[in-house]
């Protein structure tokens, strides 16, 4: 698997920030490339070392793709003011993380008081996520619980796949341009970060057995909770909260909110938030100057996925909605 290509994307992709790409032929330089990790690499397989690191920065969240072409034994620890996890993209060969067999289906939790130990296979590609502790505590920890030691986390395969796809899209869509850091793009960057943190929290949550929620009848308390949530989010669709923030505002656990939405709406809170935002875009298209303006206002930054989701929900592409209202005199 070659390094993820970094493509120049039209707005809003450029608003996500620039991607840096560095290649290393020395294993110690590769280890030192991740500042604040205090790690040491030992090469195990024979041959010339070749590694790359691609970086992308959101406010309070650092992302990187590390690509190793030799088997490496890694030891180290992550500074305590961040919480770091890894999402494997490619695992070709035997890998062990903190003494356990690792695969592309497991999340790697690097943070922990005892540090981490990782023997990577000869070809290994991983997306690393570094969250500032306050962001982790506010958005992810309520769903994930505390992780006192580093180790593997077995996420739901579908949820992990969605997180992996979201991260790859970020790197492919973010334009390598410095001007994207301007304040004019701050609202979109914040929404992208919120969407990412929600997906991390969902992947980090303990796996639970399927329940009968889809066939259950909503209680009055669940219905009231959904109404409160809907009213709160509707009042700030241009800057929607994360699911963790919504739980804090409503004073309920993520499990309680999940159950209420599954029973009342037939979907989880994250899918519900996306549905509300898509409906908001449809309303905005009645007066917007362009599809891009309407989409970015409500946090949609990947045009391909946005157009597909929009058409799946409404049965027409967003440009058709825009043209129809222009022709009818709505613009």
pLDDT of 209: 38
Query: Of the given ranges (54-63, 147-156, 208-217, 220-229), which has the lowest mean pLDDT?
Result: 208-217
Could you tell me which residues come within 8 angstroms of residue 246 by beta carbon, excluding any fewer than 6 positions away? 229, 232, 233, 257, 269
Same domain for 143 and 213 = no
- For residue 197, pLDDT over 90 is answered with yes
CA nearest neighbour of 104 among 123, 86, 117, 91: 91
- DSSP strand pairing (72-76 vs 116-119): antiparallel
How many domains in the chain? Answer: 2
For the chain, give the percent of residues with pLDDT over 90.
54
Same domain for 163 and 249 = no
CATH at residue 279: 1.10.10.60
Task: Let me know if residue 201 belongs to a domain.
Answer: no
CA nearest neighbour of 274 among 247, 243, 319: 243
Reported as a single tens digit per residue, the pLDDT across 242-285 is 998 999 999 999 889 999 998 888 899 999 999 999 999 999 99
- For residue 5, pLDDT over 80 is answered with no
pLDDT of 101: 92
CATH at residue 119: 2.60.120.10
Q: Which residue has the tokens 């592409």?
A: 317
More confident site: 216 or 218 = 218
More confident site: 165 or 35 = 165
- Using the Cα atoms of residue 81, residue 87, residue 93 and residue 94 in order, give the sign of their dihedral: positive
pLDDT of 175: 52
Task: Let me know if residue 6 belongs to a domain.
Answer: no
Mean pLDDT on 170-181: 56
Mean pLDDT on 194-212: 78
pLDDT of 176: 33
Query: Of the given ranges (26-35, 72-81, 137-146, 315-324), which has the lowest mean pLDDT?
Result: 137-146
pLDDT of 218: 74
Tokens of 1: 């698997």
* Domain range for 70: 13-177+185-193
Same domain for 232 and 159 = no
Q: Can you give the pTM of this predicted structure?
A: 0.80
Same domain for 172 and 36 = yes
């Amino acid at each position: 698997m070659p390094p993820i290509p970094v493509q120049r994307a039209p707005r809003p992709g450029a608003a996500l920030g620039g991607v840096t790409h560095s290649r290393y032929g020395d294993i110690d330089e590769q280890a030192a490339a991740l500042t604040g990790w205090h790690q040491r690499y030992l090469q195990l397989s024979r041959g010339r070392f070749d590694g790359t690191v691609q970086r992308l920065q959101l406010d309070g969240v650092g992302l990187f793709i590390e690509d190793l072409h030799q088997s490496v034994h890694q030891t180290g620890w992550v500074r305590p003011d961040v919480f770091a996890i890894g999402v494997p993209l490619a695992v070709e060969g035997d890998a062990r993380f903190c003494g356990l067999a690792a695969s592309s289906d497991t999340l790697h939790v690097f943070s922990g008081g005892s540090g981490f130990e990782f023997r990577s296979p000869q070809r290994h590609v991983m997306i690393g996520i570094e969250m500032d502790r306050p962001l982790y505590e506010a958005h992810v920890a309520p769903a994930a619980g505390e992780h006192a030691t580093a180790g593997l986390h077995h996420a739901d395969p579908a949820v992990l796949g969605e997180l992996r796809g979201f991260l790859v899209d970020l790197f492919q869509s973010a334009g390598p341009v410095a001007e994207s850091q301007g304040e004019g793009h701050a609202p979109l960057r914040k929404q992208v970060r919120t969407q990412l943190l929600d997906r991390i929290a969902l992947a980090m949550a303990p796996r639970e057995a399927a329940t009968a929620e889809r066939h259950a009848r909503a209680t009055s308390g669940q219905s009231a909770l959904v109404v409160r949530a809907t009213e709160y989010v509707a009042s700030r669709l241009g800057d929607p909260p994360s699911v963790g923030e919504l739980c804090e505002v409503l004073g309920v656990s993520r499990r309680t909110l999940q159950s209420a939405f599954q029973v009342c709406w037939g979907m989880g809170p994250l899918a519900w938030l996306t549905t509300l935002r898509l409906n908001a875009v449809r309303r905005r298209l009645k007066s917007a100057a362009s599809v891009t303006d309407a989409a970015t206002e409500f946090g949609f930054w990947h045009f391909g996925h946005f157009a597909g989701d929009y058409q799946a929900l409404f049965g027409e592409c967003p440009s058709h909605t825009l043209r129809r209202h222009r022709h009818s005199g709505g613009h």
